[in-house]
Amino acid sequence: MKINIKFESAKLKVLFATSEIAPLIKTGGLADVSSALPAALRAIGVDVRVLVPGYRQVIAQLPEQKVLATFDALADFPAARLLSGTAANGVPLLVLDCPGLYQRDGGPYQDAAGNDWADNALRFGLLSKVAAVLGSSESALDWHPDLVHCNDWQTGLTPAYLHFAHGSVPSILAIHNLAFQGVFPPATLGQLHLPLSCFGINGVEFYGSLSFLKAGLFYADHITTVSPNYAKEIQQEALGFGMQGLLAIRNNDLTGILNGIDTGEWNPATDKYLAKKYSSTRMTGKAINKTALQNLLGLNVASDVPLLGLISRFTHQKGLDLLLEIAPSLTELPAQLVMLGSGETKMQEAAQDMSHRYPGMIAAHIGFSEALSHRIEAGADMFIMPSRFEPCGLNQLYSQCYGTPPVVHATGGLVDSVVDCTAETLKDGTASGFTFSGMAAENLFAAIQRAVDLYRDQRNWKVLCKNCMVKDLGWESSAETYKAVYLKVLGR
Ligand code: ADP
């Protein structure tokens, strides 16, 4: 049974369930969104609290461990506790403490060798289940949300649990990346304490397996995704990853809302990682950051050679292979290149190999470094994002904010957030980067060539950089749209 509470003036209360939150634990954009969006919603009067697993890194950063609730008998799940915490930006945290499932060396989803944790179904089944308990009349907390905002497959089972629970509130499922679907063998269902009857096309079943994401897409009251263009793309076969049929059926319950950026974290005027802070009206500091970056990475210190930056997970999705294919030609333009990222071993090796072949011109840093990512955004002249698909993408937003025009493949949220630079768009002030269509190395090269040509015309280049920097990229308007979706789902 769904309960829509009718107090129009009561403060809207939302439980935001997520598997990562910056800066406590981050593998990608979801962590950034899970930190900034709740803060932006709180700023407009929504009482959001974030539920996150108590990974080792998260527990280590909790100053005290105040227990809010215990879960001793949630079916086959191990005993767990809910601890209270507060994020650095003031957002209240509900930390799900279950050491056997979450406190281990390695990442949130994979061990240090890059293999998925064998018990991921149980780990994120518990997270999903606890989110549903907190959104139902079973909850022992004094704070009762009006709605649960789930994120990606890791909390995809929450809408299913809510569907079968008593006194449950509505849920929305936000898709940050449809390619990750939380697919497990059908027998897993027994461990997860869901009725066998839900294992069907109208339920959690997906091509004979159990999919957490499919469960969420089917049972959530509303679905959001992180850009309007991606909301359209995922209803088509090419980028629907098998979910396009269900998404097309649910078209009226699907809203694309572009991500914003946390301007407290990403702002060249206040960024603690930079050699020199700068702004759209005082740009001189940007050149100092470029020299510092070239020094740091062992690149030739040359102010007039354009420096291209890339920060990414090294996976097929992100199109690094295209960039590596043209890297030798880039050095002849000449342009320099820095790549920061980690992921597939072959791509890591290929990036490193390229840096050894072109010392002084190409640098590769394998690993995850928040500090270096900020320094690249500031020190590079242009930012490269040749993603095959991109639900929203954040680095093209950060790079605009840092006056580092992005060169992007015209897909997903990149289409919604980058306006190709032409004579007209430069003149009317809308240009904010360079886009290319057709996922081929020569198309990427042509777009970079256009960027480098404009870079040589420094007067116009500065116009473009300034255009980028003055854009409003914050979360305010998107937070209002999320609030409107919540209210619509609640029938208010
Ligand atoms: P995705 O979530 O698909 O990885 P996004 O562009 O939405 O891609 O977000 C990626 C986020 O992760 C950005 O904040 C980016 O700067 C960060 N990031 C990715 N790889 C690294 C890395 N190796 N070091 C530091 N930050 C990284």
- Residue range 379-404, pLDDT digits in tens: 999 999 999 999 999 999 999 999 99
The residue whose CB lies within 8 Å of the most ligand 1 atoms, and thus the one to mutate among 35, 109, 311, 390, is: 311
The residue whose CB lies within 8 Å of the most ligand 1 atoms, and thus the one to mutate among 30, 34, 262, 312, is: 312
Q: Is 343 in the pocket of ligand 1 (CB under 6 A)?
A: no
Domain ranges within the chain, ordered by starting residue: 12-260+476-489, 284-469
State which ligand 1 atom lies nearest to the alpha carbon of 259: 7
Range 330-350 average pLDDT: 97
Q: Which helix (H) or strand (E) holds 102?
A: helix 99-102
pLDDT digits over 6-63, tens only? 444 579 999 999 999 999 999 999 999 999 999 999 999 999 999 999 999 999 999 8
C-alpha distance from residue 255 to each of 245, 277, 477 (Å): 16, 37, 14
Residues 6+ apart with CB under 8 A from 142: none
Q: Is 32 in the pocket of ligand 1 (CB under 6 A)?
A: yes
Residues 6+ apart with CB under 8 A from 441: 322, 325, 326
Q: 0.85 cut: is pTM over it?
A: yes
Percent of the chain with pLDDT over 90: 96
Band (1; pLDDT cuts 50, 70, 90)? very low
Please give the torsion angle defined by the CA atoms of residues 290, 412, 267 and 310, in that order, rounded to the nearest 10 degrees: -20
Q: Is 28 in the pocket of ligand 1 (CB under 6 A)?
A: yes
Range 426-436 average pLDDT: 97
Q: How far is CA 205 from the centre of its chain?
A: 26
Q: Which helix (H) or strand (E) holds 379?
A: helix 370-379
Read off the DSSP letter of residue 290: H
pLDDT digits over 229-272, tens only? 999 999 999 999 999 999 999 999 999 999 999 999 999 999 99
Residue whose entry in the numeric block shows the structure tokens 């634990």:
25
The amino acid occupying position 366 is: I
Q: How many helices (H) and strands (E) does the chain have?
A: 20, 18
pLDDT digits over 341-362, tens only? 999 999 999 999 999 999 999 9
CA distance 183 to 273: 39
- In this structure, what token pair is assigned to residue 200? 């069907």
* Of residues 111, 129, 113, 115, the one with CA closest to residue 53: 129
Q: Is 376 in the pocket of ligand 1 (CB under 6 A)?
A: no
CATH architecture group of domain 12-260+476-489? 3-Layer(aba) Sandwich (3.40)
Residue whose CA lies nearest to ligand 1 atom number 9: 29
pLDDT digits over 399-422, tens only? 999 999 999 999 999 999 999 999
Residue whose CA lies nearest to ligand 1 atom number 12: 28
Residues 6+ apart with CB under 8 A from 10: none
Residue whose CA lies nearest to ligand 1 atom number 22: 368
CA angle 27, 31, 36 (to 5 degrees): 155
Q: Is 312 in the pocket of ligand 1 (CB under 6 A)?
A: yes
Other Cβ atoms closer than 10 A to 302: 15
Contact yes or no for 40/479 (Cβ under 8 A): yes
- Rounded to the nearest 10 degrees, the angle between the axes of helix 345-357 and helix 320-332 is 0
Q: Is 311 in the pocket of ligand 1 (CB under 6 A)?
A: yes
- Rounded to the nearest 10 degrees, the angle between the axes of helix 370-379 and helix 284-297 is 130
The residue whose CB lies within 8 Å of the most ligand 1 atoms, and thus the one to mutate among 178, 395, 416, 417, is: 395
Helices (H), 264-369: 284-297, 320-332, 345-357
Which residues is 382 bridged to in the sheet? 308
- Over 90: is that where the pLDDT of 5 sits? no
State which ligand 1 atom lies nearest to the alpha carbon of 390: 3
pLDDT at position 6: 47
- In this structure, what token pair is assigned to residue 63? 């100053």
Strands (E), 245-370: 254-256, 307-314, 336-343, 362-366
State which ligand 1 atom lies nearest to the alpha carbon of 370: 25
Q: Is 394 in the pocket of ligand 1 (CB under 6 A)?
A: yes
Residue whose CA lies nearest to ligand 1 atom number 24: 368
- For residue 145, the CA-to-ligand 1 centroid distance in Å is 30
- In this structure, what token pair is assigned to residue 67? 């227990």
CA distance 211 to 198: 12
Provide Rg for the chain, Cα atoms. Answer: 23
* Of residues 101, 125, 100, 120, the one with CA closest to residue 110: 120
Q: Is 454 in the pocket of ligand 1 (CB under 6 A)?
A: no
State which ligand 1 atom lies nearest to the alpha carbon of 341: 23
CATH for 284-469 (3.40.640.10, 3.90.1150.10, 3.40.50.300, 3.40.50.2000): 3.40.50.2000
